[in-house]
A and B are shown apart, each in its own frame.
Chain A
Amino acid sequence: MIVLIMLLVLIILLSINVPIAVGLAVTTIVAMVIKQGPSFLIDTGLIMYSGAKNFPLIAIPLFILAGAIMNSSGISRRLIAFASALVGFIKGGLSMITIAASMFFAEISGSAVADVAALGSILIPAMKKKGYPGAFAAAVMSSASSLAIIIPPSIPMILYAVMSQSSVVQLFVAGIIPGVLGGLLMMLASYIYAKRKNLPIEEAFSFTRLKKTAKDAALAFLLPIIILGGIFGGFVTATEGAGLAVVAALIVGAIYRELNFKELFNATIEGGSQTAVVMLLVASSVLLGEFLTVEKVPQAVAESILDFTNNKYAVLAILNVFFLIIGFFLHSAAAIILVIPIVMPLVNSVGIDPVHFGIIVTLNLAIGQQTPPVASVLVTACSVAKADIWDVTKVNVMFIAVLLLVLILVTYVPIVPMSLVEYFYR
């Protein structure tokens, strides 16, 4: 009963635009004070502190910082040049370049919004100049950027790993195949679109140019190899890998001599703010966790669904639909923090591998980033392209369909994400 009232209060608070972190904390505090008396209030201060000092989550600000350094050091420009030499000869080349560059970029940065901001500000104007419809330009950029949270490193995956107590490294490994597959399918979709609309090619294929741009961008490629190699090889933890990423990005930036310190400073402050927004949510979710444990809510949820079905695939279907609906309204970090602690007992009890489930969740959230009204990545892309969200969404439907296809594949053919994990770790 108290849970339902709490949920109702939370929904009311959220609908009047109280920040989710605050709404969550306040409802929990009220419920706990009613249950346990005012002595819980002093715990609040302690929990809000200890919730924020979570060691594995240090990777989040570090990956954001590494991405910021990369953006202000000329790496994105070099990646685009290389992608252009690689796939620019195909019809609708610029959209291919966008997808390819996003995939490379995803190897380094962990956040999709960062990708849109970094690559979109160069590529979207370029596409519009070549006569691509603005809505299409924004749609390609937006969807391709969501690959960033599927291809490692990925901030939502780090959050998921902490919330579900599974291995970040295995999640990272599991994301590789679905991410690359998604990228290739998106390229196919945009090729079909380009063929129909007769969009121009960029440049004739030239092996010398490919070699030259590859050499220019070589250091940029070295970066993910060092970072991911270090993490996958077990030399460093994910958090330390993130620290390594910062140093590596600084060194590469210094070698390229294109580091723009003013930009870097602003990006760092922005990164600090992004981290804080997520971490405040994490801290208040720890508060909520206390309540959930006392009330045994996750167990109740698990039982009520298990009464209905205990078929693994049916449960996965229910969870998928649930996450897709949540994705319309919630930011990806918020969705993980709110939902994962509640559904995890259910996931474990029907025997779904937590790593497999993590990839499913991440894909759902990637789709959520593309579906308005709450769609952080799409909104950023639209504002760069100065295009209307609904116009963009009409075009974006084909890319969302691609992501859905990958989601279904990943859900029901577990070998797709899990083969590398099985090979390396089990």
Chain B
Amino acid sequence: MMISLALVVVLGIGFRWAGKALVWYDEVAAAQLAWVTYYGAAYASLKGAHIGVPSIIKSFPISIRKYLFILSKIVVYGFFVLLTYYGFKIMIIISGETLTTVDIPQPLVQSVIPVGSILILISETLNLKNEYNDIMGVSK
């Protein structure tokens, strides 16, 4: 995905220099960035790479830590479930529309929100045990 994004930008410059600017280049490249964002975010969830502040929770006593961990995960899951639900709803609302400059269906492009969110939920679940062990100070 990163590589195709680079390709589109390079094509865009190339064609502009050749005097035939590609009208679709900005719009497509921007949509690709959104795709990199959400699918990449799913990968980052898998690796536990999202930017957070892990040091504070580790200073709480072990007994409370477990509940705080559960609370934090409820927030994360809640958010992405919400995003999945409303992402699908938007797809239905905008069905039939296409991008302005090129004939790609808008719902397909914006499907990244619900689909990406589902992938993030799956990745979070796969990484749950690792993260729990890390928070509780259990070495792997």
Residues of A contacting B26 in the complex (Cβ-Cβ under 8 angstroms): 55
Instruction: State which of B33, B52, B110 has its C-beta within 8 Å of the C-beta of A61.
Output: B33
Q: Mark B67-95, 1 if CB is under 8 A from A, else 0.
A: 01101100110111011001101100000
Cross-chain contact A15 with B56 (CB below 8 angstroms) = yes
User: Of residues 228 to 274 in A, which have CB atoms within 8 Å of B's CB atoms?
Assistant: 236, 239-240, 242-244, 246-247, 268-269, 271-274
Q: Establish whether residues B6 and A41, one from each chain, have CB atoms under 8 Å apart when the complex forms.
A: no
Chain A residues with Cβ under 8 A from B33's Cβ?
52-55, 57-58, 61, 279
Name the residue on A nearest B76 (C-beta).
A22
Determine whether B128 belongs to the interface, using a CB cutoff of 8 Å to chain A. no
Query: For B9, B49, B75, B82, which residue has the most chain A Cβ atoms within 10 angstroms?
Result: B9
- Asked if A288 is at the interface of the complex by the 8 Å CB criterion, the answer is no
Assess whether A273 is in contact with B44, with CB atoms less than 8 Å apart: yes
Contacts of A44 in B (CB 8 A): 82-83, 86
A333 at the interface (CB under 8 A from B): yes
A residues 6-26 near B (Cβ < 8 Å) are 13-23, 25-26
Interfacial chain A residues near B30, Cβ < 8 Å: 53-55, 58
**Judging by beta carbons under 8 Å apart, are A243 and B37 in contact?**
no
Instruction: Select one of B2, B34, B71, B75 contacting A22, CB under 8 A.
Output: B75
B5 contacts the other chain (CB 8 A): yes
Q: At the interface, yes or no: A416 with Cβ under 8 Å from chain B?
A: no
Contacts of A125 in B (CB 8 A): none
The answer, among A48, A240, A246, for a CB contact under 8 Å with B83, is: A48
Q: Which of A17, A18, A334 has the most CB of B within 10 A?
A: A17
Q: From B84, which residue of chain A is reached at the shortest CB distance? A: A45
Q: Is A180 an interface residue (CB 8 A)?
A: no
B88 nearest in chain A by CB position: A45
Please, which residues of chain A bring their CB within 8 A of the CB of B1? 272
Taking A16-B57, A54-B33, A280-B50 as contacts, is the C-beta distance between A240 and B13 under 8 angstroms? Answer: yes
Q: A44-B82, A58-B9 are contacts. A272–B75 as well, Cβ < 8 Å?
A: no
A317 CA to B72 CA, complexed, in Å? 36
Q: In the bound complex, do residue B82 and residue A239 qualify as a contact, i.e. CB atoms below 8 Å apart?
A: no
In this complex, which of A16, A48, A334 has the most chain B Cβ atoms within 10 angstroms of its Cβ?
A: A16
Measured CA separation A243–B72 after assembly (Å): 38
When distances are taken between beta carbons in the complex, the residues of chain B under 8 Å from A331 are 51
Inter-chain contacts of A25 with B (CB < 8 A): 79
Contact B90 A14 (CB under 8 A): no
Q: Is A322 an interface residue (CB 8 A)?
A: no
A275 within 8 A of B: yes
**A18 CB contacts on chain B under 8 angstroms:** 52, 72, 75-76
Please measure, in the bound complex, the distance between the C-alpha atom of A221 and the C-alpha atom of B128, giving whole angstroms. 45
A residues sitting closer than 8 Å to B (CB atoms) are 13-23, 25-26, 29, 41-42, 44-46, 48-49, 52-55, 57-58, 61-62, 65, 236, 239-240, 242-244, 246-247, 268-269, 271-277, 279-281, 283, 329, 331, 333-334, 373-374
The 4 A-B residue pairs with the shortest CB-CB distance, nearest first, are A276-B40, A243-B9, A19-B50, A45-B86
Q: Which residues of B contact A (CB under 8 A)?
A: 1-3, 5-6, 9-10, 12-13, 26, 29-34, 36-41, 43-44, 47, 49-57, 68-69, 71-72, 75-76, 78-80, 82-83, 86-87, 89-90, 110, 112-113, 135
Given known contacts A17-B68, A45-B113, what 16 new A-B pairs fall within 8 Å (CB)? A13-B75, A14-B56, A17-B52, A18-B75, A19-B50, A23-B75, A42-B89, A53-B31, A54-B33, A55-B30, A242-B9, A243-B9, A247-B6, A247-B10, A268-B3, A272-B43
